[in-house]
Structure 1
Amino acid sequence: QFPTPIHQWNLPNLPEGTEVWIKRDDLSGMQLSGNKVRKLEFLLSDAVAQGADCVITVGGIQSNHCRATAVAAKYLNLDCYLILRTSKLLVDQDPGLVGNLLVERLLGAHIDLVSKEEYGKIGSVALADLLKKRLLEEGRKPYVIPVGGSNSLGTWGYIEAVRELEQQIQLSGDVQFDDIVVACGSGGTIAGLALGSKLSSLKAKVHAFSVCDDPEYFYDYVQGLIDGLQSGLDSHDIVSIQNAKGLGYAMNTAEELKFVKDIATATGIVLDPVYSGKGAYAMLKDMADNPSKWKGRKVLFVHTGGLLGLYDKVDQMSSLAGSWRRMDLEESVPRKDGTGKMF
């Protein structure tokens, strides 16, 4: 559902003269919501062009990318095979129907679970290749999509998103952004945004807050993606990457989860705990610590979706949720039968 809306985001405690706007890529669709849709537009087109009858991809147990891939594959009449990473204690158990898993399993996606230890030892590429080999032996025609849809082809999704943004700015006629901010988990989104901004009329500075791995890992990863597009550019020159992983990928401190709740209450924007929540938390912390860096600037934050991931945090967030009560009904309130009695 493109173009996704842009509107001002009334965040609290911003530096003097700073405006934050938000690009609502969380509204790119319901089952297909989030930034992964833009990459899948190119990747699944390639799968169809190559005559694939199924796709394989890899991710965490609550991967937004895997859910979006399963949905988009079904739209195109392709079977979907998901290799999902989970804990050693849960790898032999039914993964349940929480969040993204509910959508994937309703769609009939084939799910293979691996432990985090197995994943770390074997790696996502080798795991996908193993499943691809088995499917080929069965006479299938599989197409492998990398983790997060992040390869040079998938990067075009956010190069196109920058073109969309250019058109929206031209139509509005009064908003020019100095900075674009996004949470970074697999590298493809920031590579596309950074390269797109460099090649466009925007010339906005792109900031990424990494929610897994360290900034140098992502600088190298982005370099590989833009080299694949023969850009001739240095990743350090087109994007600024800061660490926001905290306790680790898909792990949250109590303060981060409280931030997600407080922002929802204050602004009506629900962030996801894995990506946009950590990204916005780190952005506001950097604004508080370095106000002169952001003073007077117009900042566009890209909300990359992931609402379903909140369901996996219910136990941790239950104490933060809003209160409830049974409605107090006075005795004088007429009852439906006119008797004034409750049944």
Structure 2
Amino acid sequence: MPVIGFHASHEQIDPKSLLDAVKLAESAGFRAAMSSDHFSPWSERQGQSGFAWSWLGAGLQATSLSFGVVTAPGQRYHPAIVAQAAATLCQMFPGRFWLACGTGEASNEHITGDRWPPKPVRNDRLAECVAVMRALFAGETVSHDGLIKVDRARLWSLPDETPRLIGAAVSVETARWAASWADGLITVNQSHEHLQRMIDAFHEGGGEGKPLYLQVHLAYAHSENAALDLAYEQWRSNIFAPPVCWDLELPQHFDEASRFVRKEDMRGSVLISSDPNRFVDWIGGFADLGFDGIYLHHVGVEQRDFIEEFGSRVLPAFAKG
């Protein structure tokens, strides 16, 4: 039975309210949590973007949940800084933190003023970052001169157990490539056929036996129309496939791109219903694909109704036997 977790969306919810939400999620029966890591939201309607690493320390202290974060070392973050932040969390909260690495989006990374490189270069840069972080976690003094530069970096406060480095992917090709360096795979809800191809590619690339995680975007309300309205209001800027979602820079760009999105278009990216039993079926279908952790992201700003309703009517279906 997979672990069902709560996804903390910093782009939509202020940090204090998000901390209250994750504490409520633990009390409702969610068994884990994960966090986004953005510098800006996808839309001006969302209107938030707290600093994930500060919040993760608070979330780990305030709950007993395990936490993961999806981040992008290489441009906005130097990999030595990511490694230091992750090592500190692992030292304070042993066995409760994992780190998912992706190649990032221009909407977060453009702030450095550096050129936004094409995807193959971003892949190569991420591979360098992962190698640097693994060497730092091993206690080595690291110098490196490539797509990233490191000069005699060493982590002085090391945990007994370093974090798993999970590969973030949305395509079959990236899933296969991630298997060459990652300790697991994380992706987002897509068709079962596409997810199965990603899983197969990850296994073929060397990921057999490694954990699989899934982030699920959903909209729940007490009526179907309300759920659809909620998804459309908050998440219509987020339905675009790569490379659009990788390369747009500002919330205004995403808002302009989404001007002609229709409400019915939302169902391709967000699971939308007022019936908790439908979510049980949907989540069960993902579990059947072999995901070890499924993290639920309710795309609304208000989280209490979702957390309480799912705690009483959805999570029990996935409780340990």
The normalised TM-score by structure 1 is 0.30
Give the structure with higher Rg (CA).
Answer: 1
The normalised TM-score by structure 2 is 0.32
